[in-house]
Amino acid sequence: MCWSATADLVAGTAVAAVGLVCVARVRRARDLLVAALPLLLGVHQPVEAAVWDAGGGCSPAATAGAVIALPLLPVWVPVGVLLAAAPGARRRLWAPLGVGLATAAVLVYALTTGPVTAEVRGRTIGYGVNVPWMPLVLAGYLFATLGALLLAGDRRLRTLGVVLAAGPWPAQRCGGWNSPPPGAPSPRSPRCWCWAGSGAGNRPPGTADRPKVT
């Protein structure tokens, strides 16, 4: 979610509260990662609020936000689903986990070898990261996160995967991974510009048809 620092703080508090309730209701230790996913996403919102307060640029908050959104999720989700799944479903879940680990490795490399920049435009935040092999990384990201849920034997996890796959989440996550916004310097290597916000009127010029990223 992107709107303002205050909105991120309010949303983060609400989502984190849901995560705490989910964690408190866990009866099996192997369900903990899946139950804690809302808590992780709730923590991400105050981090993004700090990016708003900093006015973008290269900052610890921008780096922390990119770490949660990029390399952490494609590992967290398939590991959590694998642990929570019934024994009979685990064999097919090794593929999303393997792809997620490989995807996260590329994203960690991108984060550690180049700067992470953030830019605030209206109600929109853009994150710029030098990501090699972007189409493959994007496909791996989606397979690791959505694929793990869709391949899970648990009906509730599959339903969550179907809802996310049918909704705007895939485009919101990765829709801006192709080109920088107008006026941004052209880097020597491919740069992943992920834009988050609400309302086409608040997006950077020339990106009216580009999906949002949160």
Of all residues in the chain, the percent with pLDDT exceeding 90 is 36
How far, in Å, CA of 208 to CA of 85, rounded?
40
Nearest Cα residue to 182 out of 208, 200, 204, 212? 204
pLDDT-derived band at 170, boundaries 50, 70, 90: low
Q: Indicate whether 107 pLDDT > 80.
A: yes
What is the model's pLDDT at position 173?
52
pLDDT-derived band at 93, boundaries 50, 70, 90: very high
pLDDT-derived band at 149, boundaries 50, 70, 90: very high
Q: Indicate whether 147 pLDDT > 80.
A: yes
**Amino acid sitting at position 57:** G
**Exposure pattern of 10-32 as b/e (b: 16+ CB <10 Å)?**
ebbeebbeebeebeeeeeeeebe
Which residue did the predictor score with more confidence, 115 or 198? 115
Which residue did the predictor score with more confidence, 128 or 68? 68
Which residue did the predictor score with more confidence, 134 or 99? 99
Choose the most confident range, by mean pLDDT, from 30-34, 52-56, 134-138, 172-176.
30-34
pLDDT-derived band at 135, boundaries 50, 70, 90: confident
Task: Tell me if the pTM is above 0.85.
Answer: no
Whose tokens are 């010029």? That residue is 205
What is the model's pLDDT at position 119?
77
How far, in Å, CA of 127 to CA of 112, rounded?
15
Give the mean model confidence (pLDDT) for residues 1-20: 79
Task: Point out the least confidently predicted range of 30-39, 72-81, 83-92, 113-122.
Answer: 113-122
What is the model's pLDDT at position 214?
39
pLDDT-derived band at 167, boundaries 50, 70, 90: low
CB 81 within 8 A of CB 157: yes
Quote the radius of gyration of the chain (alpha carbons, Å): 17
